[in-house]
Amino acid sequence: MTTLDDISLGLSAEASEPRRDVVEVDGISMSGLVAEAAEPRAVIVALHGGATNSGYYDSRSHPRASLLRIGAALGFTVLALDRPGFEASYQHRDAAVLATPESRTRLMFHAVDAFLEGRPRGAGVFLMAHSQGCVLATRIAASERGADLLGLEIAGTGRVPHPDSAFMAALVSPDMPPSRPGRAALREALWMPEYLFPDGPEAALPFSMSPGFDHPDMKGWTAELPRLAARVRIPVHITLGQYERAWNSGPEALADLASLFTASPRVVASEQADATHNLSVGWTAPSYHLKVLSFAEECAVARERAVAETPPSPESDR
């Protein structure tokens, strides 16, 4: 059987190996994985979903599935951050700076600045996220400073739970108490069909303890998403897997999501063939990552063109 390691993508050997870094930000230890390009086209900042960590974007058993490795080899610096309350910052999960959505959004801007201090950013920063990470990513993009981002990718999220996913319906319903779904329900919603993953579902994902605020964040997501989306002023790319079973999927669901981003100059919705909820760890992870990187490249070109077409201010002529 052909494996991901057998597939040649013509990647450069000059990209750095991903490494784990920790920075202190606002009294909080923030961790993440970084893979650098010497002269980056842009910086990709990636946020993982629930109950996992930044390792979601760096498959060790199948390097071709690693966003960090493919991105850096193609000239992008990739920073996969552990979201607030995960990994190094888990010890600070009850700190005041992590207490509200607004404070966590500010913390993420400060963390990105700290990780990238002294490092070239190329055309700018492109933000992407998966599953519950999309809550934080969309808040970041909708904020005042979010307009400076190159673009946004959200994947594995939606407005309406899949009709077969009772656990997701319970997770987002404000009228139902938080509950821990059974293993079989999670497997059915997130990992099936299992042949989509090279090593099977159990081996594909790094698990991590989640902070308590992840539950209320998800409870309010379906109500918050339309309000946030309407304030996003950068290009947006949306991806759902062909076999997505946590959220309602298919062309109509993708079009519905895309319609929320009324202030965005460009919205692209894409269904990833042969993928389920966890798009970045399956056989088609390289294809998915290349699509996101291609969109980021288009956003970089658009930013450069906009800068070139902007007339100089009177002060610049003095």
Find all residues with CB under 8 Å of 183, minimum gap 6, and list them: none
Q: What is the pLDDT of residue 132?
A: 95
52-97 per-position pLDDT tens digit: 999 999 987 788 899 999 999 999 999 999 999 999 999 999 999 9
187-207 per-position pLDDT tens digit: 888 888 989 998 776 666 788
Short-list 240, 222, 224, 279, CA closest to 105: 224
Q: Would residue 1 count as lying in a domain?
A: no
Q: Would residue 314 count as lying in a domain?
A: no
* Contact status, residue 50 vs residue 210, Cβ threshold 8 Å: yes
Residue 105, token pair as written in the block: 């959004």
Q: What is the pLDDT of residue 179?
A: 59
Q: What is the pLDDT of residue 124?
A: 98
Residue-level pLDDT, tens digit, the chain, 318 residues: 334 444 344 444 455 689 999 999 999 999 999 999 999 999 999 999 998 999 999 987 788 899 999 999 999 999 999 999 999 999 999 999 999 999 999 999 999 999 999 999 999 999 999 999 999 999 999 999 999 999 999 999 999 999 988 888 888 887 766 556 666 777 888 888 989 998 776 666 788 888 999 989 999 999 999 999 999 999 999 999 999 999 999 999 999 999 999 999 999 999 999 999 999 999 999 999 999 999 999 999 999 999 888 777 666 554
CATH code of residue 303: 3.40.50.1820
What's the domain range around 209?
A: 11-309
Number of domains in the chain: 1
Q: What is the pLDDT of residue 5?
A: 45
Q: Would residue 4 count as lying in a domain?
A: no
Residue 242, token pair as written in the block: 């062909």
Q: Would residue 64 count as lying in a domain?
A: yes
* Rounded CA separation 189/247 (Å): 9
